[in-house]
Structure formats: structure tokens, C-alpha cells
Structure 1
Amino acid sequence: MDPVIVVGGGPVGLALALALAARDVPSVVLDEGTGEDEYRPARTAVLRADTAGFVERLGCAEALRAEGVRWTGWRSMRRRQLVRRVSFADGPYGLGGPDGLDGLDAAGGRGAGGGGSVSGAGADHGPGGSAGRAGGAAAASRAAGASGGAGAAGRTGGASGPPARGDGEDEADGYLAAAPLHIPQHALTGALRAALASPPAARLVQVVTECRVDALEQEAAGVAVHTRGQRETWWRGSHLVGCDGARSTVRKLLGIRFPGRTAVERHAVAMLRAELPWPGEGVLHRRPPWRNAGEEVTARPLPGGGWRLDWLLPPRGDLVTPEDLVVQIRETLAGWCDDTPAYELLDTGVYTLHHRLARRWRVDRAFLAGDAAHLLGALGTQGLDEGLRDVENLAWKLAEAWHDGGPAEVLLDSYQAERRTAVAARLRAADQSLPVLRGGGGLRTYLRGGSRQHDALLTDGHLGRGPLGAPPAYPHSPLAPVDLEGTVEVGTAPGAPVADVPVTAPDGTAGRLRDRLGRGVLVMLVAPGTGVWDRRHWVTAGVMPRLAEAVRNLPLRGELLVTEAYPGAAAHTVLLVRPDGHLAAAFTGVHPQSLHAAAKALRGDTPGQAPAESPEEEAAHAH
């Protein structure tokens, strides 16, 4: 069968090729660039827990540890007052709650992610984009000054009154948030490129550089694109995915509209090395008290003593000169440290954020992903995060359709139904919040309360919580099974991301649930006491043999796992987890026919209702 054609060699396109290769699907990546990424220290990405874990599973774990940094905490300040401080948990997924919940919010979505930087991928809205670069590496300078301790901006008391929550520590949420990963974007892209050289990607992925798509044709059995440049030829594939950014050629060739809002936010950014009062912490400072401070400034740590600073600018205004930005840097550092500390300026830029959403994400065998499908980034929302979630959602569905060879219409349609709905909800939440959070008044009915509540909402957007930031759930997915015998509610709502609990495979391999994602569905049995039993006893005891047989007979590739406990689940509960880590269904005991029907629903087959079981089978479920 023909390979999948991926147009675009940025992080989203490369991640898709790697995710397909992990499922034994070949692909051709058509990259307009040279395959060498521009070194821009100020262009960084903040990956929340779920997307960082996804990139690690693609073979980039070592590179992410070497090139990125996980924050120890997040500090939100207003003028001279600490409003909120969040400590991040150790480990990639932050299981810090008293009940083991991985940041489950009221809607069932995980709120354990973090981060608020915008990667700025794309010519329109990245550092050095339409608003122009302000300086760059050539503007590197060193300013002398004494390094101070925690300055007035970092104090928690004073004339402004006490912090919002006791000492400002974020303990009321019942868990510690997972640490976000902050990494230069060129390092992330380089890590993905390096992973392509390792099996199985090395034999399954072909990367073709310096070629631009200029024509696209589709038929019932496949899709073809024509490229010009280094390779002027036609390429034929089973499917095509446009990951070619904000000015997507694929989107234009498909005739898909891309409506939305222009210049929603504009930021100046500087990458520098300095000693700041909060080593390892991210900082959001709203309305700083010093002169010419502007409305908002954020600081995010990077390896080697690096910091990325972002200043909110008027959405439309004058260009920011290098001289203006140097003044802004000195005043900000002096405000935080009582005096301007020594610093080394490495890179600067200005980027403009747009909010847009493609009308369609699928046209027959062609799909859109990443910036080609959506632009967002205001109020801490993450464009690159959403692009990687697109990839994780689409890759397993394309792989299933590719291996099956059938039309798989419901399965492939579910990509747009799930992901476009989730991103649209994120954009809607940002549009409702912007008028109040940016001082424009307006939609008070959506944002009741005073400034502290608004500050908390903005902080949640940066930390990956609530409507602005939490990883999405797909409760109304076309793949959701319905009317099945034996279903039960657990601490994760159907369609929401599962909690990352410790698991053990029948062969004795132990690890985390999310480390097993990717290749097929996961079937997890909640079996208290497994950890203290010898494997040879529990693997053949109780319901395990019957459940193992049910997993072998699933219409999708499946893996059986066991866990000591899962939030909200009783002993002998069985959870069916999608390849992208979302809960498909939970059952009270072993119901092979219901499990089989739920797996069929994940393939896009008509879910229907599982046949009733015999009284003997029902009695067996109680044990």
C-alpha cells in the first residue's frame, strides 16, 4: 500500500511521521525547508505533561532531558503582591493528589499540565514574524549591576495585603501540578529529526527537503501531490496530512476557509542569561509597578541559567526597536531585583498571535493538523501542544485505516469531530476571557468575581487547567460505545484522558500507564494486592485467564495490564483505554462481549448493544 504523505517538516509533521512509523505505517515527509533548523534561542516551546510524554514516547526522551528544563514552580504576581504560587510535582505526570488523581477536573479532563509560552511556529506569528525582529543575536550585550535578592515584586506581603490563599501556596486543588517542559524549538525539532534515524522510523520514513507542493489530486484509492524545487515530480500516497503551518498550501489547494481573528495579542520576547530571584520557577507578573512596565510580563527558565521573558504589547502598535527592548529588559530586571543584575542578551523578537480555525479538517483522504488547522496562543493557550494532540489523535486512526485497507469513514471522520471541537472550545474560552483579562470589560457574565479570580483564570491557562488549558476530553466522540452491558463510572469520565497510574504487564514488566500508549488499545484490570503477589500466582488466578482471552480476541491490537488501584474504580473494574490515552469505557468485571463491542466502536463500526450474557457468565463477573 502507498505511504502516507506528510506535508511539512516542522515539529508536528515530524511527530506524525514518527507516530505512524511506531505503528508500522510508512510515510514520506515533503519539507519545503532545507532540513536544518534556524538557531533562535528566543523561539521556545512549553510542552505540558501529556504532550511532553507523547514526544518522549516517540524516541526523544533523552534529548528532552538534555535540552529542556522542568520548572519547580509557577509564581503569579499582581503589582507587588504574590497572588498564587504552584509547586510542581516530581515525575512527568504529577501524581501528587491525596487520592492519586492525576489532576482530574470536574469535567473529567486532566489538569496536570503546565506552561504558557507560545512556540511561535509559522511565519505569521513567531518571533521575528510579521511584526519584525527587534535585535537578535547580534544585539547581544552585557549590562553591569549588582545582583539583588528577592525584590519588591517577589514579596508576599506588604501594603497590598495578604496573598489570595494563605501563604500563596497552591494546596487547595488537592494535587500538585505536573511540571511543564520548556525547550528551545530548534532543539525539539532536532530531537525529532534524530529520532527518524532510529528503527523503525529509519526504514519507514523518507524525508524529502527543498520541495514545495503545488498541486493535489484525490481519487477513491489514494491521493497524489506534485512538488517543484529539488524534486519536480508526482508523489502518490494512501492519505495526505497537511502540517505545513499557518500559510498552509495544502489547506489552500483543498479550498478550505480559515476564518478567525487577527492580532489577538502581540508580545516582545528576549532570551537572556541572568540570575533572577526565582531559580527554576516560571513567573507571571501582571501590571508591574515600575515605569513603562506594560500590562504583563512573564519569565520562564531554560537550561544553563537561561530565561525567556515576554512582555505583552498592544495588539496593534508601533514596531519595537532593539533600543526599546533593552530599556524594557533593564527596567524589568531592576524591578524584580531592586537593581539591574548582570545579564547576557542572546536573542530578541516580536511575535503576533492570531486565532483562526479551519472550517474543515478532512477532505476525503486529505487532513489538516497543527497550525494548518488552527492558530491560537493567547492567555497561555498552546498552539504546539494542540498540534501534537492532533498528531496523537490522528496517527492511530490513520494506522488502523492503512492496515485494514477499508474506507474507515467513521473512524477517520472522528478526527475532525474530536479535535476541531476541542480546539474550538479552547478558542471560545479565550475569546470570552480576553475582554475582562485584558481590561476591556465586556463579558462579565462569563467571568464573575474580582481581579483575583481573573488572575487565577489566567494562571490556570498557563498551567494547563480549566477551559483555557486542560487537556481535552471527547465525551461526544463518534467512537464512543453505547448501550453496553456492565459499564460503570470511574474517576475519569468517558472520553477524558486517563490517570497515569502504575501498571504491571502479565510478563512482569512494571511502569506507568502512559508509557504503554501508542501501539494499540490498553485493557487494564484493577486488582488490589497484585504488587504483593508473585506473578506466577496472579497471572493465572481469578478473572485473569478469561480477560486475557478476551483481549486476544479484540478487533484491535490490545495489551493487558494490571493496576493496584485507579481513581474511583472498585476492585475488578476493567478499563478500555484508547491508543491516545483517552478512556473508551469501564466495566464492572470481565464482559468479553461488551469489551469486544467497545473495541469495534473504536474502529468506527456501529457500536450497537452487546448481546445479553448467560446467568453463569454474569455470576462469574462477581468474582
Structure 2
Amino acid sequence: MDPVIVVGAGPVGLSLALALAGHGVPSVLLDEGPGKDEPRPARSVVLHGDTAAMAHRLGCATLRDEGAHFAAWRTMRRRQEMRRITFEEGPAPLHLPQHALTRGLRDAAAAHPLVQLVTDCKLDSLEQDDRGVTVHTRGSEATWWRGSHLVGCDGARSTVRKLLGIRFPGRTAVERHAVAALRAELPWPGEALLHRNPPSGPEEVTARPLPDGVWRLDWLLAARGELVTPDALVTLIRDTLAGWCGGTTPPYDLIDTGVHTLHHRLARRWRDGRAFLAGDAAHLLGALGTQGVEEGLRDAENLSWKLALAWHQGASEALLDSYEGERRTAVAARLRAADQAMPALRGGGGLRTLLPGSARSAEALLTDGHLGRGPLGAEPVYAPPMAVREVPTATEPGGPVANVPVTAPDGATVPLRDLLGRGRLLVLLVAPGTGVWDRRHWVGAGLMPRLAAAVSALPVRTELLVADSYPGAPAHTVLLVRPDGHLAATFAGVRPAELYEAADAVRAGAPDGDPAAAPSAAPSTTPTAVID
């Protein structure tokens, strides 16, 4: 079976190649550049719970050393502090330079035997047939590549998107920011700040911490205003720091600067036969605190397990179509929420008029975008593929599961999200008290033998887990979790027929019968449950 071809070795392309490798799928990762990224501390990314866990799971070693978790989040208006949020519940946002994220993922990809990273090659043609994709690249030497599928992760000016003839409509220059990375002592060590209508300067400025006393500062500018000169940027820095530090500008070391113009665009289609789009090739966003890189990582998480199922066992066209259906819908909702909020937040209009039923302040809406909450920032919820007899839990169907401690097949207790991305569905039994018993006592007791038999009969590889509790779930609840961590179904006790039907719905039914979709070495479609 040919590998998957991934075009573009930024954070999204690297994450997709590593995610495919986690599912046992080889890939060829085509990088137009030399394989090195210029350090730009002023260009950074914020990862929230699901995406930070994904980057960690993929082996990105730079998260710990070059990323900083927010100690708290402050919101100020004029000279008054409106709100301060700590992160006692759930993980704090993680802030790190984008080049550090890319380097950590690149190092992990270079060390993985299933990822072939090729630099200095630019795609210039693409052909598809019933069995795969053929592409031609030029660079140090012209080369043809053959793959089972192709994913364009090659950015806003995507060559893949252009070769497929896919339109990329949207809005230009939605927001523009002056950005600086500097080392200084600010009054709230490690705490991020959103300051609306400060005493001097633009109408909004944010400060987000990085390690070693470095901060990224963003000033909102007029979308189509004058050029920002070096002198003007220094004035912004001095006035802003003085406003935060009692009227006197503290010493600071300026490390990096830039001006970022944000666009909102959404590709008309994300799939064309065996070719797909992900990341900035499929969407552009970033206004009001939304995170384009983070959405790209979610694209990679969603697409990787579906391509893996197609590669190993064959998959229905409906499953591959569901990538566009789920991810494009989620990103479109994010863009729509930003478009609805923009006139109120940036144009001075009435918030209640533009957002019916909302009594929330502008600061609260912006905070949600920056902290990964609400319509501007929350993790996506995908419509479940079928209606099943559910037990209500704190997680709505299609939503991301809570990262509860679970007992893994080797008897160790690990966070649930550590077990994602391995090419398997997860079946989780809520069994209070199992944490205090040795595994050899509970693995053959109660519901476990019958549930293990039901899991063994499922049409896709599945791992059986137990947990002492799950938010909102009564004892003996069974949860079916997709490989990307979204809840597919819940059951009261062991229901083999319904569990099989739900697992079959997750894979969108049996493969369509394409012989090229199932290599001769593919595993059995009725594997044994992993409980040993």
C-alpha cells in the first residue's frame, strides 16, 4: 500500500504525518523549504487542552521548555480590572513560539520510521486515479511520488488547493495587529492580560507570557491603516509599559517585532477524490482571539484516523466525506461567531442587537476567544452519526470527552487523552471502586466478561478501559469514544447489539468495496478486544 502524501511541513502537516504514524500509516511529507524555521518569538500560538494534549502525544518535546502556561487571565477596561480568571479547573492555555512548536514536531517526525520528510521540493502537478494519487515535485531534482491519498497542508497560498481548482472566498484584512516580543518585568508575572481602552494607544492590547520573562504584546490597529514605523512601535511599547507600571517605562529588551494582518477565508470544498485540504490551505481565521494553528491541529486529528481506517481496512466514502462535514462545519461556525461579534466589539455597536439573547460583555466574549471557550473558542462538537439510547453525562454526544484517569490494558492508570490517536475506538466502563482493586480481581468480575466479549465482536479495532467515575455518568455506564476523543454513544450497561451498531456508525458503515482501499496485509475486521 502506498503511503499518504502530505504537502507542507508546518505545524499542521507535521502533526498530520505524526498522527498517521500513530495509527500505523506511513507518509511522505513534502517540504518546500530547507527544513529549518527562522526563530520568531513574536509569532506564537496558544494551545488549549485538546491541542496541547495532542502535541504532547505526538512527541513534541519543546512544549515543556519553550512554552508557558498562563498563571491567570486578567481583563481590564481603561484603568479598572474587570475580571481575573485562574485555572483551577482544567488545564491552563499553553503559549509558545510557533517556530518552537514546529521544531518539536519536526524532530519527532525525523525520528519516526513511518514518516519520510523530504525538503526542498515544490509540488507542481497532481493526478488522481481509482487507486491513488501521483504528484510531481521540482527542487534540487525533479521527482514523481505515488500515494494512497494526498493532504494539502501547504498554507494560505496552497498549491494543492489551486491544482484542485477549489475556491477560497472570504474577507480580507479583518484585523491588523502590531506585535512585539520583549523581555521585561510586568506587574503580574506569568499572567496574561487583555486590556480594552487603555489610557493611551490603540483601543486594545494583549500581553501573553513566554518563558524566561519574555512577553508577546499585541496592539489592535486599524484594519487598513498607515504603516507602522519602528519609531511608532517603540512609542507603543513605551506608552503601554508605562501605563502598566505606574507611569514609568521599565527597562525592557526588544527581541522581535512584526505586523500581522488577519484574513477570514473558508475553502468551498475540503475533499476532491483522494485529495484533502487541512490547516491554512482550508481556512484562515485568527480575529478576536481565535487560533488558526489550533484549528489546523484539530483538522489533523479528525482526518488522521479516518485515513488510517481507509488505509488499513478500507473505509466508506461517507467516512472520508465526514472529515469535510465535521471540520468545515466547525470552522464555519467559528468564523460566523466572529463575524457576528465583530461589529459590536470593533465598531461600537450594541452587543445585544447583534447577538440576540446575549447579555455578555465585550470583554467576556473576547476572553472566551483567547481562553478557548464559548462560540469563539470552545472545542468542537460533532453531530453524532446516529441516534442511540443514551445515558446522560456531562459530555454531550459528539463532544470531547473529559480527560479522566482510566485503567489501561497494562493495568496502569493514565489520563484518557493519552490513549487517543492509536487507531482504535475506546470503550470505557464506569465502574466505581475498580481503582482500589488489583486488576486480576476485577477483569473477570461483574460486567467485564460480557463487555469484553461484546467489544471483541466490533467491526473496528477497539480498546476496553475502566474508570472509577466519569462526570455526570452513573455506575455501569458504557461510553464509546472515537479515536480523536469525541463521544460517540453512551449505554446503560452492556448492550452488544447497540454497541456494534454505534461502532459501525462511527466508521460510517462497511467499506465501499474498493480493492485498493484494503491492502493484503490489513488486520482482521473483527479483532480481539485489548484487555490483557
TM-score under structure 1 normalisation? 0.80
Residue 439 of structure 1: how far off its partner (Å): 2.6
Q: In 2, Cα distance between the equivalents of 1:259 and 1:605?
A: 33
Q: In 2, Cα distance between the equivalents of 1:37 and 1:413?
A: 34
Amino acid at match of 2:451: L
2:258 to 341, 344, 349: 349
Determine whether 1:43 maps to 2:43. yes
**CA distance 1:408–1:448, shift in 2 (3 Å):** closer
Q: Corresponding residue for 1:514?
A: 417
| Superposed counterparts of 1:454-493, under 5 Å | 454-475=362-383, 477=384, 480-482=385-387, 484=388, 486-493=389-396
Q: In 1, Cα distance between the equivalents of 2:280 and 2:408?
A: 38
Residue 407 of structure 1: how far off its partner (Å): 5.2
Q: In 1, Cα distance between the equivalents of 2:400 and 2:55?
A: 16
Structure 1: gaps spanning 5 or more residues: 90-95, 97-176, 608-623
2:155 to 228, 231, 245: 245
Q: In 2, Cα distance between the equivalents of 1:443 and 1:275?
A: 36
**% same residue:** 71
Residue 450 of structure 1: how far off its partner (Å): 9.8
Q: Corresponding residue for 1:432?
A: 340
Determine whether 1:68 maps to 2:70. no
Residue 445 of structure 1: how far off its partner (Å): 2.8
SS at match of 1:182: strand
Amino acid at match of 2:77: R
Q: Corresponding residue for 1:533?
A: 437
Q: Corresponding residue for 1:191?
A: 104
Amino acid at match of 1:258: F
Does structure 1 retain, via aligned residues, the 8 Å contact 2:425–2:461? yes
Q: Corresponding residue for 1:279?
A: 189
Amino acid at match of 2:93: P
SS at match of 1:304: coil
SS at match of 1:528: coil
**CA distance 1:28–1:445, shift in 2 (3 Å):** same
Q: In 1, Cα distance between the equivalents of 2:75 and 2:386?
A: 42
Does structure 1 retain, via aligned residues, the 8 Å contact 2:344–2:354? no
Q: Corresponding residue for 2:87?
A: 88
Determine whether 1:498 maps to 2:401. yes
Q: In 1, Cα distance between the equivalents of 2:315 and 2:457?
A: 22
Q: In 2, Cα distance between the equivalents of 1:545 and 1:258?
A: 52
Does structure 2 retain, via aligned residues, the 8 Å contact 1:506–1:539? no
**CA distance 1:270–1:561, shift in 2 (3 Å):** same
Does structure 2 retain, via aligned residues, the 8 Å contact 1:243–1:370? yes
Determine whether 1:322 maps to 2:235. no
Q: In 1, Cα distance between the equivalents of 2:239 and 2:283?
A: 35
Q: Corresponding residue for 1:109?
A: none
2:497 to 578, 587, 593: 593
Q: In 1, Cα distance between the equivalents of 2:437 and 2:29?
A: 48
Residue 367 of structure 1: how far off its partner (Å): 0.1
Q: Corresponding residue for 2:288?
A: 379
1:173-232 per-position Cα deviation (integer Å, ceiling 9, x unaligned)? xxxx5201111111111101111233xx2x211111111111111111111111111231
Q: In 1, Cα distance between the equivalents of 2:468 and 2:350?
A: 49
Residue 408 of structure 1: how far off its partner (Å): 2.1
TM-score under structure 2 normalisation? 0.93
2:206 to 298, 301, 310: 298
446-455 vs 180-189, greater mean Cα deviation: 446-455
SS at match of 2:466: strand
| Superposed counterparts of 1:572-591, under 5 Å | 572-591=476-495
2:447 to 543, 559, 575: 543
Q: Corresponding residue for 2:527?
A: none
2:219 to 291, 304, 311: 311
Q: Corresponding residue for 1:399?
A: 308
Does structure 2 retain, via aligned residues, the 8 Å contact 1:83–1:452? no
**CA distance 1:217–1:443, shift in 2 (3 Å):** farther
Determine whether 1:408 maps to 2:312. no
| Superposed counterparts of 1:148-227, under 5 Å | 177-198=90-111, 201=112, 203-227=113-137
Residue 448 of structure 1: how far off its partner (Å): 5.8
Q: In 2, Cα distance between the equivalents of 1:20 and 1:195?
A: 13
1:119-142 per-position Cα deviation (integer Å, ceiling 9, x unaligned)? xxxxxxxxxxxxxxxxxxxxxxxx
Residue 447 of structure 1: how far off its partner (Å): 3.0
| Superposed counterparts of 1:415-426, under 5 Å | 415-426=323-334
Does structure 1 retain, via aligned residues, the 8 Å contact 2:305–2:421? yes
Amino acid at match of 2:288: L
1:537-563 per-position Cα deviation (integer Å, ceiling 9, x unaligned)? 111110101111222222111111111
Q: In 1, Cα distance between the equivalents of 2:357 and 2:262?
A: 27
| Superposed counterparts of 1:89-108, under 5 Å | 89=88, 96=89
Q: In 1, Cα distance between the equivalents of 2:303 and 2:358?
A: 41
Amino acid at match of 1:481: M
Structure 2: gaps spanning 5 or more residues: 512-532
1:22-43 per-position Cα deviation (integer Å, ceiling 9, x unaligned)? 1111111111100011111211
SS at match of 2:87: strand
1:339-382 per-position Cα deviation (integer Å, ceiling 9, x unaligned)? 10010000100010000000000000000000000000000111
Q: In 2, Cα distance between the equivalents of 1:344 and 1:450?
A: 42
Amino acid at match of 2:20: L
SS at match of 1:562: strand
Q: In 1, Cα distance between the equivalents of 2:324 and 2:409?
A: 36
Q: Corresponding residue for 1:117?
A: none
Q: In 2, Cα distance between the equivalents of 1:604 and 1:568?
A: 28
Does structure 2 retain, via aligned residues, the 8 Å contact 1:447–1:454? no
For this pair of structures, how many residues does the alignment match?
Answer: 509
Q: In 1, Cα distance between the equivalents of 2:79 and 2:358?
A: 17
Does structure 2 retain, via aligned residues, the 8 Å contact 1:298–1:309? yes
Q: Corresponding residue for 1:362?
A: 271
Q: In 1, Cα distance between the equivalents of 2:165 and 2:279?
A: 17
Amino acid at match of 2:75: S
Amino acid at match of 1:358: A
**CA distance 1:252–1:440, shift in 2 (3 Å):** farther
Structure possessing the higher relative contact order (Cα contacts under 8 Å, 6 or more residues apart): 1
Residue 49 of structure 1: how far off its partner (Å): 1.1
Q: In 1, Cα distance between the equivalents of 2:509 and 2:251?
A: 63
Does structure 2 retain, via aligned residues, the 8 Å contact 1:432–1:443? no
1:310-336 per-position Cα deviation (integer Å, ceiling 9, x unaligned)? 000000011101110001100000000
1:122-179 per-position Cα deviation (integer Å, ceiling 9, x unaligned)? xxxxxxxxxxxxxxxxxxxxxxxxxxxxxxxxxxxxxxxxxxxxxxxxxxxxxxx520
1:249-282 per-position Cα deviation (integer Å, ceiling 9, x unaligned)? 0000000000000000000000000000010100
SS at match of 1:545: helix
Residue 458 of structure 1: how far off its partner (Å): 1.1
SS at match of 2:86: strand
Does structure 2 retain, via aligned residues, the 8 Å contact 1:506–1:535? no
